[in-house]
Amino acid sequence: MPDRSFLAWPFFEPRHREHAEALEGWCAKNLPAAHGDVDAACRDLVAMLGKGGWLKPTALDTANPGPLDVRTLCITRETLARHDGLADFAFAMQGLGTGAISLYGSAGQQRWLDRTRAGQAISAFALSEPRSGSDVANMDMTAARDGDSYVLNGEKTWISNGGIADLYVVFARTGEAPGAKGLAAFLVPADSPGLTIAERLEVIAPHPLARLSFRHVRLPASALIGKPGDGFRIAMSVLDVFRSTVGAAALGFARRALDESLKRASERKLFGAPMAELQMVQGHIADMALDIDAAALLIYRAAWTKDMGAPRVTREAAMAKLFATDKAQEVIDRAVQLHGGDGVRRGHIVESLYREIRALRIYEGASDVQKVVIARQVLGTS
């Protein structure tokens, strides 16, 4: 049984604890999903999660508007990740993909949210380009105003849900100023003429991922989210909400790795006694539990701070993401070690966790970038 003691921490309200318990029950019945065809699996997971009502926290409820509840997002990601990495991915992208619409969308744009929250439409967040991943402000993609339209030209890459999404939030250069100040965000339906999937990308933990090509994609001016020149600020506000949730997913993977290790250490006998009696094994277990609790404290501090109305949680979210993802990698590596040969056997749960965790240290700001962000906050230079 995974450690649930963190739910007693003062960061949470009774509704968070009830949500965690109910979701745990749903996961035990419905996950892991079959992953053979990753596109089909993701579509099914979005539909299942939508039907169960679990996607509601991912976006603004237009009938009852209020801020996104970051603690609920984190608890959900942590729980889903512990059961099935692809289920966490399907959930997370419904939020990241629509974050700009929840925070800055017009009433017309927000009509999409009823469908994404119900699992009837799949969303994607298209920021990265071949020449600008970490260096977002170096973006090449253009959005040129032409009468009542914008015309988008360029490429996006590493786009999660690329190929299966119904809508993309796309960032492009409208050119009000050089660098970060000249960007804007657009809502682009997947069937827009000129938008094509240039390449499907395969990664070590498979999920739908693509490079997108935009050739003269004409959009009505109403597709603009917020104002021209606001794109960078919008992207950063979305990441400010969702960055801690990446840490929460890592925490879920790490908790699963510890659970599997505890089972292994108590069941497997080495030198005539359970492995758990070996002091060096106990050392691994202690380090894993310590890293997990420390990561959870940072994540739920960031989530609580945001939920309490802090306009930005740049420092808290960067610390949570950096620490939780880096430490989860170490926790999972220890789990692989404790499993011996089984740990590297294809299809074993700790082998899949070892692959799942890696990309989390790269996307939504690589670990090195989080260090830069934290240092600037501490130095007071940002």
Ligand X SMILES: Cc1cc2nc3c(=O)[nH]c(=O)nc-3n(C[C@H](O)[C@H](O)[C@H](O)COP(=O)(O)OP(=O)(O)OC[C@H]3O[C@@H](n4cnc5c(N)ncnc54)[C@H](O)[C@@H]3O)c2cc1C
134 binds ligand X (CB under 6 A): yes
382 binds ligand X (CB under 6 A): no
Stretch that binds ligand X, among 81-89, 183-191, 192-200, 365-373 (CB under 6 A): 365-373
For 36, the token pair is 């053979």
Contact pattern from residue 205 through residue 244 relative to ligand X, giving x for each residue in contact according to CB under 6 A and a dash for the rest: ----x-----------------------------------
Residue 260 among the catalytic residues? no
Contact pattern from residue 155 through residue 174 relative to ligand X, giving x for each residue in contact according to CB under 6 A and a dash for the rest: ---xxx--------------
Long-range contacts of 10-16 (CB under 8 A, 24+ apart): 11/71, 11/300, 11/301, 11/303, 11/304, 12/71, 12/75, 12/300, 16/71, 16/72, 16/75
Query: Which residue has its beta carbon closest to ligand X?
Result: 133
CA gap 220, 156 in Å, rounded? 20
197 binds ligand X (CB under 6 A): no
Distance of closest approach, residue 36 Cβ to ligand X, in angstroms? 19
Distance of closest approach, residue 368 Cβ to ligand X, in angstroms? 3
352 binds ligand X (CB under 6 A): no
Query: 184: alpha, beta or left, given left = phi > 0 and alpha = psi -120 to 50?
Result: beta
- Residue 380: how many CB atoms within 10 A of its CB? 6
CA gap 370, 162 in Å, rounded? 25
Residues 6+ apart with CB under 8 A from 289: 3, 258
125 binds ligand X (CB under 6 A): yes
Q: Which of 98, 102, 110, 128 binds ligand X (CB under 6 A)?
A: 128
Q: Which of 142, 369, 376, 377 binds ligand X (CB under 6 A)?
A: 369
Kindly tell me which of 38 and 262 has the beta carbon lying closer to ligand X: 38
The residue ranges that bind ligand X (CB under 6 A) are 125-128, 133-135, 158-160, 203, 209, 359, 362-364, 366, 368-369, 372
Q: Which residues are catalytic?
A: 364
